[in-house]
């Protein structure tokens, strides 16, 4: 099941770029394989490096609808897979008191009374979709098991109804911030893709693609500065989304070149903890005085 | 290819990466769709199918480099190899430093400088190749590790000198700001690191050609991060560990809270049940329960920071540091033969290095002579803070239980176990060493809910995992004992 735009890693890369997602070779290769092998991709990495964006860009590229399941602690079957619309069932029973129970039972357990939740919806869709299971590390291990059937066989078993098999195979992307170790069973079924912080060159390109009106020199400087800031031992190193915010801020302020002063003044956009801000700004000023001293 | 793949998978397993049968099949399947001449793509294919944990990626990379070293793209490969007749001349040049050898070295340095200034990867690789050929003096069959050759190559090139030279050359224009200089330096440093990596790869390639894959892979095998012995971890390893324990502490917090939440079903909420039943015509289809109020777990963490525990203590404090972000009711203590509370040092936002320094300087953990005395330290803890222990508090003690043949004072432990909800002991020594010499582990273990051997990250993980399971106290004493005064 090959789509236009997914027929080779290079095509994937070029295609994602059209939707402002700059994939490196590795990302392109894994996405390509996922489509070829019909396997889900498990994307892991720090917050804000574009894990969710990948799924969105992929949906745009493949021209598919994106179905998103946002995970949270306490997510259960009725929110992830399906739920019986029991109110409608009750109404049905009350409206039709005369018919026999056996017939009624058959009636109320049909697809009409089923409320599909994201996983079932992705399976039942007649058009192929992209299914995004976001922050899968937030659910408990037990809940993870709910997804296994969907992920490996692309089917959902409903006791009253039977097994719903996917009409079209969805492209599945799972994201994880690695707050906990996912189960082996889940990992085994997926292609694993770790997205870390990008290289200076790639970050520069991302900035140019994402921030309108940013000139190349400033983008280059921002990317290099951000890389430098990441080298510190920080509680929360700035990620791509933060450097994009920073670029936008600098642009709005009409900055053409970043010097120590502007960098210090706008650090709060890049860093989220006062301690981190102190650390970096202290270091920036010491660099300045070092050079002045010599 | 298949033979090579199975060999590679075998090597991954040897170095501790769990690769299941299914994953191996996936890899083989995925390779059918992979352009084998495209090295990054080939690597991405194997990486995504075989390695499912970012922590294992480094070990994977090493194994990959060794196994597929000979498949590296090698433009003009044979031209780079040192012809046999050149060997004597080279050794002469390294001794005397004159003639064609020196000119050759100068040319090499010039090319390296250019590659570093422009960030030209291709040139960098070519220079690395050539440098190893010229300078490493690799001889087939010589039982020397790759590090030796790396050292030899880089020493002749005088890398540090090059960095300064590059900076001086770049810093000549007057309008470069301090910030610019600094960014430039970092950039060059990174490229030099790239160069080192290229040299390393080249040396590996030659070693593999000489000795074969399995032999080289074996010498390069290092324990995975989660299996690194915490008692003897290097500074770098500790730093990496510090980064990966954050998720673990979050899990620990979740586990401790979860146990409570699962422990008791809430009482029936009559009001909400009736309200809810209105939508189903007065039939209470879904009984509603009052959710039990989640109580915050209280954790008391006691760390042995004595000399014998130096490296582990650093790790333990890292754990404390990471945990303080997760628990609002965490109190931490450090002890040697005295005990002091160090909670304040790890207050939200404090940098770890600063906190560590303050523990070393300000905490009064030495009472008499600075040799571990668990009996006294725990006694002091009980006297000062014992009244704060409630049935909701969990006590976690880390230490090797080596008491220098002093009185263990395990009666205090019994009292603590009585007062607290649970007491866990994490011992960084191998289980086999417990109770040997001056270790009094079992005396303490009697009163603990459980004791764990925590020599590496994986064991710490399994401790955290295990907390979710209900356990019985092992041989816990229930006596009417009152501790004596300790001060």
CATH number, domain with residue A127: 3.40.50.300
Asked whether residue B323 is domain-assigned, the answer is: yes
For B40, other C-beta atoms within 10 Å of its C-beta total 14
- Give the contacts of B12 (CB within 8 A, at least 6 positions apart): B19, B50, B51, B59, B60, B63
Please indicate, yes or no, whether residues A283 and A215 belong to a single structural domain of this protein. yes
B460, B356 in Cβ contact below 8 A? no
Closest residue of chain B to A36, computed from CA coordinates: B33
Across the interface, do B51 and A192 touch by the CB < 8 Å criterion? Answer: yes
Across the interface, do B281 and A90 touch by the CB < 8 Å criterion? Answer: yes
Distance from CA of B179 to the nearest CA of A (A): 7
Domain boundaries, position A57: 9-81+117-194
Please indicate, yes or no, whether residues B113 and B201 belong to a single structural domain of this protein. yes
- Residue B227: left if φ>0, alpha if ψ -120 to 50, beta else—which one? alpha
- The sign one gets for the Cα dihedral B201, B207, B209, B215 is negative
For A241, other C-beta atoms within 10 Å of its C-beta total 14
Please indicate, yes or no, whether residues B218 and B317 belong to a single structural domain of this protein. no
Please indicate, yes or no, whether residues A234 and A183 belong to a single structural domain of this protein. no
Across the interface, do A33 and B33 touch by the CB < 8 Å criterion? Answer: yes
Q: What is the pLDDT at residue B295?
A: 62
- Opening angle at CA B67, ends B62 and B68, nearest 5: 100
Count up the domains in chain B and report the number: 3
B470, B256 in Cβ contact below 8 A? no
The predicted model scores a pTM of 0.73
Reported ipTM: the value is 0.85
Q: What is the pLDDT at residue B94?
A: 40
Across the interface, do B247 and A178 touch by the CB < 8 Å criterion? Answer: yes
- Among A224-238, B30-44, B89-103, the range scoring the smallest mean pLDDT is B89-103
> Using 50, 70 and 90 to split pLDDT, how confident is the model at A244?
very high
Round the average pLDDT of chain B to a whole number and report it.
77
In angstroms, the CA A262 to CA A284 distance is 11
Please indicate, yes or no, whether residues A217 and A155 belong to a single structural domain of this protein. no
Asked whether residue A240 is domain-assigned, the answer is: yes
Please indicate, yes or no, whether residues B403 and B331 belong to a single structural domain of this protein. yes
Maximal CA-CA distance, chain A: 98
Asked whether residue A207 is domain-assigned, the answer is: yes
Tens of pLDDT along A273-288? 888 888 888 887 776 5
Closest CA relative to residue B11, chosen from B79, B54, B86, B69? B69
Tens of pLDDT along A104-152? 777 788 888 889 899 999 988 889 999 999 999 888 877 888 888 888 8
Q: What is the pLDDT at residue B174?
A: 58
Distance from CA of A186 to the nearest CA of B (A): 10
Please indicate, yes or no, whether residues B429 and B331 belong to a single structural domain of this protein. yes
Please indicate, yes or no, whether residues B218 and B249 belong to a single structural domain of this protein. no
In angstroms, the CA B184 to CA B117 distance is 10
A65, A58 in Cβ contact below 8 A? no
Please indicate, yes or no, whether residues B22 and B158 belong to a single structural domain of this protein. no
Residue A162 phi/psi, 5-degree rounding, is: 110, -165
Asked whether residue B159 is domain-assigned, the answer is: yes
Q: What is the pLDDT at residue B79?
A: 40
Give the domain CATH number at B408: 3.40.50.410
Q: What is the pLDDT at residue B86?
A: 40
Please indicate, yes or no, whether residues A186 and A227 belong to a single structural domain of this protein. no
Residue B111 exposed, middle or buried by CB count within 10 Å (0-12, 13-18, 19+): middle
Residues of chain A found within 8 Å of residue B352, distances taken between Cβ atoms: 233
Residues in a beta bridge with A176: A44
Count up the domains in chain A and report the number: 2
Q: What is the pLDDT at residue A264?
A: 85
Tokens at residue B165, please? 């030279």
Please indicate, yes or no, whether residues A167 and A257 belong to a single structural domain of this protein. no
Please indicate, yes or no, whether residues A171 and A239 belong to a single structural domain of this protein. no
B46, B27 in Cβ contact below 8 A? yes
Q: What is the pLDDT at residue A263?
A: 85
pLDDT(B28) > 60: yes
Please indicate, yes or no, whether residues B57 and B82 belong to a single structural domain of this protein. no
Closest residue of chain A to B185, computed from CA coordinates: A228
Please indicate, yes or no, whether residues B396 and B438 belong to a single structural domain of this protein. yes
DSSP states of B74-125: -TTHHHHSPPTTHHHHHHHHHHH--HHHHHHHHHHHHHHHHHHHHT-HHHHH
Distance from CA of B420 to the nearest CA of A (A): 28
Domain end residue (candidates: A155, A171, A194): A194
Q: Say whether B422 sits in a helix, a strand or coil.
A: strand
Asked whether residue A108 is domain-assigned, the answer is: no
Please indicate, yes or no, whether residues A169 and A274 belong to a single structural domain of this protein. no
Please indicate, yes or no, whether residues A64 and A155 belong to a single structural domain of this protein. yes
Which residue among A26, A179, A273 places its CB closest to the CB of B44?
A26
User: How far lies B317's CA from each of B264, B314, B364, B396, in Å?
Assistant: 34, 5, 16, 13
Please indicate, yes or no, whether residues A71 and A171 belong to a single structural domain of this protein. yes
Domain boundaries, position B58: 2-67
- Give the contacts of B294 (CB within 8 A, at least 6 positions apart): B257, B260, B261
Tens of pLDDT along B408-443? 777 888 888 888 888 889 888 888 888 888 888 888
Which residue among A41, A42, A288 places its CB closest to the CB of B178?
A288
Please indicate, yes or no, whether residues B110 and B134 belong to a single structural domain of this protein. yes
- Give the contacts of A227 (CB within 8 A, at least 6 positions apart): A197, A200, A203, B186
Q: What is the mean pLDDT of residues A70-79?
A: 86
Please indicate, yes or no, whether residues A67 and A138 belong to a single structural domain of this protein. yes
Round the average pLDDT of chain A to a whole number and report it.
86
Domain end residue (candidates: B67, B92, B120): B67
Residues of chain B found within 8 Å of residue A90, distances taken between Cβ atoms: 280-281
Across the interface, do A37 and B29 touch by the CB < 8 Å criterion? Answer: yes
Tens of pLDDT along B29-60? 999 999 888 888 999 999 999 999 888 888 89
> Using 50, 70 and 90 to split pLDDT, how confident is the model at A61?
very high
Q: What is the pLDDT at residue A26?
A: 92
Helices (H), B285-435: 310-324, 352-362, 374-385, 410-419
Asked whether residue B336 is domain-assigned, the answer is: yes
Residues in a beta bridge with A132: A68, A173
Asked whether residue A62 is domain-assigned, the answer is: yes
């Amino acid at each position: 099941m090959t789509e236009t735009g997914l027929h080779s890693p290079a095509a994937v890369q070029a295609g994602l770029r059209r939707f402002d997602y700059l994939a490196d070779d590795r990302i392109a290769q894994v996405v390509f394989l996922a489509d070829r092998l019909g396997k889900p991709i498990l994307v892991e990495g720090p917050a804000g490096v574009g894990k969710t964006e990948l799924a969105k860009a992929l949906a745009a590229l493949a021209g598919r609808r994106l179905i998103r399941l946002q995970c949270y602690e306490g997510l259960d079957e009725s929110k992830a897979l399906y739920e019986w619309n029991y109110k409608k069932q009750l109404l049905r029973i009350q409206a039709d008191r005369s018919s026999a129970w056996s017939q009624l039972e058959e009636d109320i357990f049909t697809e009409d009374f089923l409320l599909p939740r994201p996983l079932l919806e992705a399976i039942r869709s007649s058009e192929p979709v992209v299914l995004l299971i976001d922050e899968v590390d937030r659910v408990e291990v037990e809940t993870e098991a709910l997804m296994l059937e969907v992920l490996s066989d692309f089917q959902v078993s409903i006791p009253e109804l039977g097994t719903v098999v996917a009409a079209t195979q969805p492209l599945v992307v799972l994201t994880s911030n690695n707050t906990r170790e996912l189960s082996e069973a889940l990992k085994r079924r997926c292609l694993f893709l770790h997205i870390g912080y990008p290289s200076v060159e790639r970050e520069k390109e991302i900035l140019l693609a994402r921030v309108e009106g940013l000139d190349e020199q400033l983008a280059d400087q921002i990317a290099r500065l951000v890389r430098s800031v990441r080298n510190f031992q920080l509680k929360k190193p700035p990620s791509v989304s933060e450097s994009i915010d920073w670029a936008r801020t600098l642009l709005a302020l009409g900055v053409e070149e970043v010097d120590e002063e502007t960098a210090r003044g706008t650090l709060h956009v890049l860093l989220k903890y006062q301690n981190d801000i102190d650390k970096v700004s202290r270091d920036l000023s010491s660099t300045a005085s070092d050079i002045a001293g010599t | 290819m298949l033979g090579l793949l199975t060999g590679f998978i075998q090597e991954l397993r040897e170095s501790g990466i769990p690769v299941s049968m299914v994953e191996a099949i996936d890899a083989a399947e995925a390779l059918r769709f992979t352009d084998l001449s495209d090295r990054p793509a080939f690597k991405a294919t194997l990486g995504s199918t075989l390695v499912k944990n970012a922590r294992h990626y480094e070990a994977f990379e090493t194994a990959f480099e060794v196994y597929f070293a000979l498949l590296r793209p090698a433009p003009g490969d044979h031209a780079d190899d040192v012809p046999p007749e050149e060997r004597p001349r080279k050794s002469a040049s390294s001794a005397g430093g004159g003639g064609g050898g020196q000119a050759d070295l100068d040319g090499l340095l010039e090319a390296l400088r250019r590659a570093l200034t422009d960030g030209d990867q291709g040139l960098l690789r070519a220079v690395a190749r050539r440098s190893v050929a010229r300078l490493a003096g690799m001889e087939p069959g010589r039982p020397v590790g790759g590090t030796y050759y790396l050292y030899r190559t880089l020493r002749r090139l005088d890398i540090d000198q090059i960095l300064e030279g590059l900076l001086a050359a770049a810093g000549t224009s007057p309008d470069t700001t301090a910030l610019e200089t600094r960014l430039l330096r970092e950039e060059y440093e990174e490229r030099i690191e790239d160069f080192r990596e290229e040299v390393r790869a080249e040396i590996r390639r030659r070693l593999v050609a000489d000795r074969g894959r399995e032999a080289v892979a074996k010498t390069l095998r290092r324990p995975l991060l989660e299996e690194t012995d915490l008692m003897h971890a290097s500074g770098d390893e500790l730093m990496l560990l510090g980064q990966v324990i954050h998720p673990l502490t979050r899990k620990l917090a979740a586990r401790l809270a979860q146990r409570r939440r699962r422990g008791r079903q809430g009482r029936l909420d009559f009001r909400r049940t009736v309200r809810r039943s209105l939508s189903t015509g007065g039939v209470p289809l879904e009984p509603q329960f009052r959710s039990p109020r989640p109580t915050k777990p209280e954790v008391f963490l006691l760390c042995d920071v004595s000399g014998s525990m130096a490296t582990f203590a650093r790790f333990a404090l890292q754990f404390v540091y990471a945990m303080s972000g997760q628990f609002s009711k965490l109190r931490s203590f450090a002890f040697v033969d005295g005990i002091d509370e160090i909670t304040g040092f790890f207050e939200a936002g404090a940098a770890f290095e600063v906190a560590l320094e303050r523990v070393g300087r300000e905490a009064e953990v030495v009472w008499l002579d600075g040799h571990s005395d668990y009996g006294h330290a725990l006694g002091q803890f009980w006297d000062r803070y014992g009244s704060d222990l409630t049935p909701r508090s969990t006590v976690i003690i880390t230490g090797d239980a080596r008491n220098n043949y002093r009185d263990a004072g395990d009666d205090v432990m019994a009292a603590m176990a009585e007062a607290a909800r649970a007491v866990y002991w994490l011992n960084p020594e191998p289980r086999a060493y417990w109770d040997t010499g001056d270790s009094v582990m079992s005396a303490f273990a009697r009163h603990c809910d459980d004791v764990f051997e925590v020599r590496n990250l994986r064991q710490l993980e399994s401790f955290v995992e295990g907390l979710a399971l209900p356990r019985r106290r092992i041989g816990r004493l229930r006596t009417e004992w009152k501790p004596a005064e300790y001060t």
